[in-house]
Amino acid sequence: MPIPVIDFSKLNGEERAATMAQIANGCEEWGFFQLVNHGIPLDLLRRVEKVSSTCYKVEREQEFFENSTPVKQLNELVERKSGEKLENIDWEDVFLLSDDYEWPQKTPGFKETMIEYRSELKKLAEKLMEVMDENLGIPKGYIKKVLNGKDGEKAFFGTKVSHYPPCPHPEMVNGLRAHTDAGGIILLFQDDEVDGLEILKDGKWIDVQPVPNSIVINTGDQIEVLSNGRYKSVWHRVNAKLNGTRRSIASFYNPSYNATIAPATELVEKENEEVNQLGYPKFVFGDYMSVYTEQKFLPKEPRFQAVRAVNSKP
C-alpha cells in the first residue's frame, strides 16, 4: 500500500477541488503524502543532491566511521555477542541548517544552493498551510499566523541534512528511531534509490516509497493540536540498511518558541469547550520543546499531558 502521491500543479486548474480533497485525505488518513510537480525547479533538486552528498563525503563520512558514537557502540555490542539491539542511538549522520547557524565550509556552492532551496521550500510550506486552512475551514493565513507567534516573533525554519551510512548489522540498530515530529509542517526530499523511511499505518509499518523529484509532506504534533486532532502526527522511523548511503533532507516549519498553540476555536465544538480541557491542551511551544527533547522517542500523549500540567500551574 503506497502512500498517496499528489500532483500539486493541479491545484491551479480544473482539478482544484479534487486535489484539495486528495490533500485533505493525505492529512486526515495518512499524515504523510508525497507531492510531485510542486514547483521546485528540478535543476535545483539536482544541485541540492550534489552539494549534500559532496559535503557528506568531504566533511563527514570519515568521521562517522572512525569516530562516531553509533559506530563505537555497535562495535562493542557485536563483540559482546549478546544478541541485543541498540535502543538509544541512531545510525545517522546529521547536520542542521538555519539562517542563524554556522554552515559547512568546505563544499563549493553548498551555502548558495541550500539558501535557494530553503527559500523555495519555505514558500511551498506556506502554500500548503493555506491549503490546510481551507480544508480545515479556518481563516486563510491562520496556521502561518499561529506558527509565527506574536510581537514580531518568527516561525523557525530549519533544515536537517541526514545521511544513513551502510550498516554492517542493520538488525542491531535503527537508522532513526520511531517518533512523531514535534513541530508544524515537515517537507522531506528523500533519496530516490536507497529507501528506509516507514510510517505506522493501522498498526503496520509501511514504506514511504521513493518517488523521484517528489517532496514528502508530513505534519507534526503542533498541527495535531491546532487542528484539534483532525490531522494526527504519525509515527515514522528509518531502517538502517546493509548497502547504500541514504540521503534525506528534512525541512521543518515550526512555531516560534513563544507561539501559543491550542486547538483552533472553529474546530472545537461549543458544547465541548469545557470537555476540551481533557482534550488537547493550550501551551507555549518552547515548553513543549523542553518536554520533547527528553521524550522524542516516546508516545506524544504524555507530552501533551506534561505541557498541560506546566500550563495549569498557578
Q: Which residues form the interface with ligand AKG (CB under 6 A)?
A: 160, 162, 176, 181, 188, 190, 197, 236, 238, 248, 250
The one of Fe ion, ligand AKG, none whose footprint includes residue 248, by CB under 5 to 8 A per kind, is ligand AKG
Task: Provide the minimum distance between the beta carbon of 275 and ligand AKG in the complex, in angstroms, as a whole number.
Answer: 32
User: Is residue 181 at the binding interface for Fe ion, with CB under 5 A as the rule?
Assistant: yes
50 binds, among Fe ion, ligand AKG, none (CB under 5 to 8 A by kind): none
Q: Which is nearer to ligand AKG, 82 or 293 (CB)?
A: 293
Binder of residue 197, out of ligand AKG, Fe ion, none (CB less than 5 to 8 A by kind): ligand AKG
Distance CA 95, CA 80 (A): 31
Query: Please, which residues bridge with residue 160 across strands?
Result: 96, 250
CB of 129 to Fe ion, least distance (A): 18
CA 43 – CA 271 distance, rounded (Å): 52
* Distance between CA atoms of residues 274 and 313, nearest Å: 18
Element containing residue 235 per DSSP (H, E): none
- Closer CB to ligand AKG, residue 11 or residue 176? 176
Question: Rounded to 5 degrees, what are φ and ψ at 173?
Answer: -160, 150
Q: How far is the CB of 170 from Fe ion (least distance, A)?
A: 19
CB of 211 to Fe ion, least distance (A): 18
Question: 19 vs 190, which CB is nearer to ligand AKG?
Answer: 190
Nearest distance from C-beta of residue 188 to ligand AKG, angstroms: 6
Exposed e or buried b for every residue in 183-192, given b needs 16+ CB within 10 A? bbbbbbbbbe
Question: 65: which 3 cell numbers?
Answer: 566511521
In the bound state with ligand AKG, the residue whose beta carbon lies nearer, of 149 and 220, is: 220
Per-position b or e across 119-130, b if 16+ CB within 10 A of its CB: ebbbebbbebbe
> Helices in the chain by DSSP H: which ranges?
16-25, 42-59, 61-67, 69-80, 110-136, 142-148, 221-226, 285-295, 301-312
* Choice between 133 and 221, CB closer to ligand AKG: 221
> In the complex, what is the shortest distance from the CB of residue 291 to ligand AKG, in angstroms, rounded to a whole number?
17
Using DSSP, state whether 216 is helix, strand or coil: strand
Residue 190, contacted partner among ligand AKG, Fe ion, none, CB below 5-8 A by kind: ligand AKG
Q: How many residues contact Fe ion, by CB under 5 A?
A: 1
132 vs 176, which CB is nearer to Fe ion? 176
- Rounded CA separation 206/270 (Å): 37
Which residue's CB comes closest to ligand AKG?
248
- Which residues contribute to the site for Fe ion (CB under 5 A)? 181
